Structure 1
Amino acid sequence: MKFTFAEPQRAHNPAMFLSAGARKPNPEVPERIQRLLTGANEAGLSMIAAQDHGLTAVSAVHSPEYLEFLQTIYGQWQTINGASDEVIPNIHPNRRDFSYPTSPVGRAGYHMADTACPIAADTWNSAYWSAQTAIEAAKLVQNGEPAAYALCRPPGHHAYADMAGGFCFLNNSAIAAQILRESHDRVVILDVDLHHGNGTQGIFYHRADVMTVSIHVDPSVFYPFFWGYVSERGEGAGLGYNYNLPLARGSGNQEFLDALDLALDRIRAYRPGALVVALGLDASEHDPFGGFTVNEQGFTSIAQKCASLKLPTVIVQEGGYICNQLGGNLTHFLRGFGG
């Protein structure tokens, strides 16, 4: 298996985020890249540098209004007297069916779901190259590779078509799935991150050509709180094509694998032509978010079950934060998937 990567992803280095009202160091740091690179190399994967494929695939899932915002908001924010070093919203609308705000403060509130996705000078370029990394992996699979791993950072599955959130700006998994749709009538995104992939769900909620499946911590007690419930099944043409499997906080290997069996049954019934795995390593028992207790063998088993679908597969890196086991967890997953 090959993996894709782009060096500019290192530049985004957010200083902080707000958690339970407290200012804390942001855990989505460049060091994640080095640990994941080590994990991919230990698994024996060969690297391909991502090429610049432009915005065509990105704009297929994100609105032009939002893409323009991501590219310009930092410069506009810096014109505000006394503004923070990073763009962090301090107001959020309770509805979105109104005239589009012209103020940078209003636009930040409109396009940023929370305070966990600060935008600094290098954020857009890193997010852009994170998306290019996913595009490169999707094109490898589209061109005949059975599977490819995209080492994407910042992650993407909390990003909606026109809104950032939860460390995410561009939805890399959704972008990869949209590319695979060029070759396959039906594509499935299987999200195994600790957190619900609410942005991915939102992008495809009214569609039947991309089914979204997510295993995650019960959102009634965990981020993203407002999305990820069993009752969310899709709407319109997408009704029945969204499948959420929330688990109790503290769940470990067996609970996760049991839920994965249900997910795979639903995926097989859908009969997709290709698979995107939104890979979160934050389900680890050692991850600082402390939501699940999956161990290294658990990641091997998760990967083996995903591989049992025998579908062309793009594995897109989502969460997984700084702990001594981060690289090893990736190695176990990639080895499990490949062999």
Structure 2
Amino acid sequence: MKTVYNERHGQHAATHEFFRGRLVPAFEVPARADYVLKALQDARLGEILSPVDRGLAPLERVHAPAYLRFLQGAFAEWRALGGEGDAFPAVWPVRTLRTDVEPKSFAARMGLYSMDSGTPLTAGSWDAAYWGAQASLAGLDIALGEEKTAYVLTRPPGHHAGADFFGGYCFVNNAAVAAQAALDAGLQKVAILDVDYHHGNGTQAIFYERADVLYASLHGDPQTEYPFFLGHADERGAGTGLGFNANEPLPAGCSNEAWFAALERLLARLADYAPELLIVSLGVDTYGGDPISHFKLDRPEFAALGRRLAAFGAPRTLFLQEGGYATEAIGLNVVAVLQGFESGS
């Protein structure tokens, strides 16, 4: 299996984040991708390629241009105002406050375009996120070609980023960019299967009223787990998208048997949909040793996941890296999924 690697991911290198009200060392760090890259090389899984620049247009198909403009210049503006270190939002336009007018204040715009205080904006956040989207588009090209399968190694992740906001370590929604590009290339039905511990609220929101992308996710129950305010089982889509969104929220600490049972329910829904392309938002923070998550999967289960996705038999499959914060284990867990997929293909 070919890998597209975002060599510029390290430009986004936060030192700290806010976690449960405390300033703590960042969980989403460059070493995450470094360990995956080494594991891929050690396993000799396949050729590792670099992306090419497709420009902003594919990103603007799913993200608001004003939001992208803000991301491009935000850190320079922060520094020009005398800001030190990474930038964090501090105020948000909650219920009854207006969001239709972009404020002149930098602090206000940080809040307008964000969803939490745990996602630091660094000097290289835009560069890393932009090239992550380019890597996803390059992976899509491989999956739509003779190879039919590809893996994209990038960070920061993407599935929490909405059309006009960042959060959950995510700035550009790579899965959404790839799905829309696939439709623009002529596909009629795309499915996104999100197996990250945390619900991909951004991906769901982008496609919630559409029937050409089915979003399916199994994740920690938002009653207790981030992102808290989306990911419930009764969220089935709206308008023409009604029935094209499927969530399987699971309680923290649930058994691996319960996790795979939920996976089977989602795969049954995907089989009915019969997608031409399956995009897998591959978060491996479902690992039992993950520091911020509460499921129990380990390498045998990750390999089983890969084999099950191969058995699903999608005509084309694109894996995009999302979460996984047990840094030294992430590479082996990702490789277990990909090797399981290849062994089952």
TM-score bin, normalised by smaller chain: over 0.9
Report deviation, 1:206: 0.9
Report deviation, 1:111: 0.3
Q: Name 1:233's counterpart in structure 2.
A: 236
Report deviation, 1:137: 0.1
Tell me how far apart the structure 2 counterparts of residues 112 and 327 of structure 1 sit (CA, whole Å).
29
Query: What secondary structure, in the 3-state scheme, does the structure 2 residue paired with 1:100 have?
Result: coil
Q: Name 2:147's counterpart in structure 1.
A: 145
Q: Name 1:159's counterpart in structure 2.
A: 161
Q: Name 2:111's counterpart in structure 1.
A: 109
Residue deviations 1:211-232, cap 9 Å, x none? 1000001111110010100111
Please, which of 280, 290, 293 is the counterpart of residue 277 of structure 1? Answer: 280
CA contact (8 A) 1:40 1:334 kept: no
Q: Name 1:12's counterpart in structure 2.
A: 12
Report deviation, 1:24: 0.7
CA RMSD in angstroms comes to 1.3
Code of the aligned partner of 2:145: N
Report deviation, 1:295: 1.1
How many residues align structurally? 338
Query: What secondary structure, in the 3-state scheme, does the structure 1 residue paired with 2:219 have?
Result: strand
CA contact (8 A) 1:141 1:314 kept: yes
* Runs of 5+ unmatched residues, structure 1: none
Report deviation, 1:20: 1.3
Tell me how far apart the structure 1 counterparts of residues 44 and 302 of structure 2 sit (CA, whole Å).
13
Query: What secondary structure, in the 3-state scheme, does the structure 2 residue paired with 1:325 have?
Result: helix
Query: What TM-score comes out, normalization by structure 1 length?
Result: 0.97
CA contact (8 A) 2:162 2:202 kept: yes
Query: What secondary structure, in the 3-state scheme, does the structure 2 residue paired with 1:72 have?
Result: helix
The 5 A counterparts of 1:1-339 are 1-41=1-41, 42=43, 44-81=45-82, 83-94=83-94, 95-181=97-183, 182-311=185-314, 312-339=316-343
Report deviation, 1:321: 1.2
CA contact (8 A) 2:160 2:167 kept: yes
CA contact (8 A) 1:4 1:48 kept: yes
CA contact (8 A) 2:90 2:111 kept: yes
Report deviation, 1:324: 3.2
Tell me how far apart the structure 1 counterparts of residues 173 and 279 of structure 2 sit (CA, whole Å).
12
Code of the aligned partner of 1:50: P
Task: Answer with 163-172 or 306-315: which moved more.
Answer: 306-315
Tell me how far apart the structure 1 counterparts of residues 156 and 28 of structure 2 sit (CA, whole Å).
7
Identity %, equivalent residues:
39
Task: Answer with 138-147 or 59-68: which moved more.
Answer: 138-147
Code of the aligned partner of 1:217: G
Report deviation, 1:96: 4.6
Moved over 4 A (4+): none
Code of the aligned partner of 1:190: L
Tell me how far apart the structure 2 counterparts of residues 48 and 252 of structure 1 sit (CA, whole Å).
37
CA contact (8 A) 2:32 2:328 kept: no
Tell me how far apart the structure 1 counterparts of residues 24 and 340 of structure 2 sit (CA, whole Å).
35
Report deviation, 1:50: 1.2
Code of the aligned partner of 1:322: A
Tell me how far apart the structure 2 counterparts of residues 143 and 266 of structure 1 sit (CA, whole Å).
26
Code of the aligned partner of 1:239: L
CA contact (8 A) 1:43 1:331 kept: no
